[in-house]
Amino acid sequence: MYIPTYQDMLDAHARIAPHIVRTPVMTSAYLNELTGAELFFKCENFQTPGAFKVRGATNAVFGLDDEQAKAGVATHSSGNHASCLSYAAMLRSIPCNVVMPKTAPQAKKETVRRYGGKITECEPSTSSREETFARVQAETGGDFVHPYNDPRVIAGQGTCSKEFMEQTDGLDMMVAPIGGGGMISGTCLTLSTLAPEVQIIAAEPEQADDAYRSFKAGHIIADDAPKTIADGLLVPLKDRTWHFVSNHVTDIQTASDAEIIDAMKLTWKHLRIVMEASCAVPLAIILKNRDFFAGKRVGVIVTGGNVDLDTLPWIK
């Protein structure tokens, strides 16, 4: 199993910098007062396709040699990875094939199509997805870019923390949400070399706390179809992301859906940004574990901003 290196991350940043947004870091005097910490928010929701996943996707797409590139890329995803990979493929004018469950939200499908991605629908089951994906890949020859367990993707996500450290004057802790572990792994990859003094805290929904339980148990525990408002964080860890989580993460803390929704609304109100429920898990744990974070300089990665504005979780 190839584990991406710090140099891979540096190469990734040089490769993708012309194609991504160097997103701003925002602060809120009010949220600092509320938490007792000094919070810095890296706004990956301001990436053009609305999520940090454009980093890993762009690294994979622009790292292909010309021969491979002709056949394009392929993936399965019902979320931000699908639109970000389509977006990156559009930038390089190569094909992108995406297998999505029939039941995926219409808006997500429209975004993939807007960026030129070709969708093949499957049933909403693991077996149908794997079968359909195998067929699509065989037919198209597209290079498989896994949403998070791919070394190119992890190296790409790691570029976020590199920028974050350049944009701030030192941090004590870095907090990011954890689902499959792509962003947290990239964060570990970068900080373990660049700033090993920074504690890395993963934030997870209580209702999908498989990473938390894996971390405590010392081996991967995969959940069966968890349900939480933080719908970007449902997937389990895989071998590469487990490598980083088990070796470099300081702690995993969890928050309930109600706490996540409160933190989401607080951020919308005081930072005045639109971001997904998944991005609110870090602030939720910071509010919940005040003593742990108070007095510290804490970086928070705001992972994405693709929200269905018609159904906000605090409006019944």
Binders of a copy of itself among 215-254, rule CB under 8 A? none
- Burial class of residue 37 in the structure, from the number of CB atoms within 10 Å of its CB (0-12 exposed, 13-18 middle, 19+ buried): buried
Cβ–Cβ < 8 Å for 249, 296? no
In the complex, the smallest distance separating the C-beta of residue 31 from a copy of itself, rounded to whole angstroms, is 12
Report the first-to-last Cα separation within the chain, whole angstroms. Answer: 47
If binding is defined by CB under 8 A, does position 315 make contact with a copy of itself?
yes
Long-range CB pairs of 63-68 (<8 Å, 24+ gap) are 63/12, 63/15, 63/152, 64/94, 64/143, 68/143
If binding is defined by CB under 8 A, does position 314 make contact with a copy of itself?
yes
In the complex, the smallest distance separating the C-beta of residue 237 from a copy of itself, rounded to whole angstroms, is 28
Piece of the chain touching a copy of itself by CB under 8 A; list 186-194, 220-228, 253-261, 264-272: 264-272
Q: Tokens at residue 216, please?
A: 């405590």
If binding is defined by CB under 8 A, does position 138 make contact with a copy of itself?
no
Answer for which of 268, 288, 292, 296 binds a copy of itself (CB under 8 A) is 268
Q: Tokens at residue 261, please?
A: 């929704």
In the complex, the smallest distance separating the C-beta of residue 88 from a copy of itself, rounded to whole angstroms, is 14
Q: How big is the chain by its Cα radius of gyration, in Å? A: 18
Nearer to a copy of itself among residue 270 and residue 296 (C-beta): 270
Cβ–Cβ < 8 Å for 209, 122? no
Return the residue matching tokens 């994979």. 60
Nearer to a copy of itself among residue 24 and residue 196 (C-beta): 24
- How many chain residues interact with a copy of itself (CB under 8 A)? 21
Per-residue 3-state assignment (H helix, E strand, C coil) for 165-225 = HHHCCCCCEEEEECCCCHHHHHHHHHHHHHCCCCEEEEEEEHHHCHHHHHHHHCCCCCCCC
Nearer to a copy of itself among residue 45 and residue 159 (C-beta): 45
The CA distances from residue 258 to 59, 101, 117, 297, in Å, are 36, 28, 35, 26
Binders of a copy of itself among 30-69, rule CB under 8 A? 45-46, 48, 50
Answer for which of 273, 289, 292, 296 binds a copy of itself (CB under 8 A) is 273
Nearer to a copy of itself among residue 66 and residue 272 (C-beta): 272
Answer for which of 248, 251, 274, 289 binds a copy of itself (CB under 8 A) is 274
If binding is defined by CB under 8 A, does position 26 make contact with a copy of itself?
yes
Q: Could you say which DSSP state residue 150 is in?
A: S
Piece of the chain touching a copy of itself by CB under 8 A; list 8-16, 152-160, 261-269, 291-299: 261-269
Answer for which of 213, 265, 288, 297 binds a copy of itself (CB under 8 A) is 265
SS3 302: strand
Q: Which residues bind a copy of itself (CB under 8 A)?
A: 24, 26, 29, 45-46, 48, 50, 265, 268-269, 272-275, 305, 307, 309-310, 312, 314-315
